[in-house]
Chains A and B, each alone.
Chain A
Amino acid sequence: GAVVSQHPSWVICKSGTSVKIECRSLDFQATTMFWYRQFPKQSLMLMATSNEGSKATYEQGVEKDKFLINHASLTLSTLTVTSAHPEDSSFYICSAIPGVGYSNQPQHFGDGTRLSIL
């Protein structure tokens, strides 16, 4: 149980295009999802907290106009990297906390999306 699916798993695109990454909770509902970025051989850096039906909360230093987050349902959050450039190339991982409203549950992670901008 508690499966999180991320799509696509790998995307290569040209500089200047926008890329959308989907994060789905397959067998549970989640009010809260998270988006992380991970550089090679490094830990996860939290980018933003995504809350269903409300605006995402971004961490300091993360450009909200660059990384658009939409959490339109209790099973889907999307991250759109707008006008992507080579420096946006990275491994992006989402996670979800099972539960609607208060939930004393751990985060469950997707398998990540490797984004390469040429």
Chain B
Amino acid sequence: AQSVTQPDIHITVSEGASLELRCNYSYGATPYLFWYVQSPGQGLQLLLKYFSGDTLVQGIKGFEAEFKRSQSSFNLRKPSVHWSDAAEYFCAVGEGYNQGGKLIFGQGTELSVKP
């Protein structure tokens, strides 16, 4: 069965430090992979997606993620974290549209940023 694991429930980093949020997936075919961010009391905003092609994808707000098939991972990175990055981050694997287009979400990682 498809699944997504985000091993870190909560991460705290200092402002200006680098960030890496981990995501591992289990999926039978080539996955569609996503990272979303959620601020408290709000919906989800798409940071970036991987469908095919270059395994290093760039997103909004200075985020990037790298798809590593051999490790079944899609880790999110940012070289320098800003206080406004504090939020909940969700990794998701998606079925192709002709399979319903559903998303399977990880448990989420809460990011706190120290001044």
Interface residues of A (CB under 8 A from B): 4, 6, 32, 34, 42-44, 46, 49, 57, 91, 93, 95, 97, 102-112, 114
Asked if A97 contacts B97 (CB within 8 A), the reply is yes
Interface residues of B (CB under 8 A from A): 32, 34, 36, 41-46, 49, 51, 90, 94, 96-98, 100-103, 105-108
Q: How far is the CA of A109 from the CA of B43 in the complex (A)?
A: 6
Q: How far is the CA of A32 from the CA of B97 in the complex (A)?
A: 9
Number of A-B contacts (CB under 8 A): 61
Nearest chain B CB to A37's CB is how many angstroms away?
Answer: 12
Contacting residues, chain B, for A57 (C-beta < 8 A): 100
User: Which of chain A's residues has its CB closest to B39's CB?
Assistant: A111
Interface-central residue, A34, A91, A109, by most chain B CB under 10 Å:
A109
Asked if A106 contacts B108 (CB within 8 A), the reply is no
A–B Cβ pairs within 8 angstroms, 20 of them: A4-B43, A6-B43, A32-B101, A34-B103, A43-B90, A43-B105, A43-B106, A44-B44, A95-B44, A103-B101, A104-B97, A106-B32, A106-B46, A106-B49, A107-B94, A108-B46, A109-B45, A110-B43, A111-B42, A112-B42
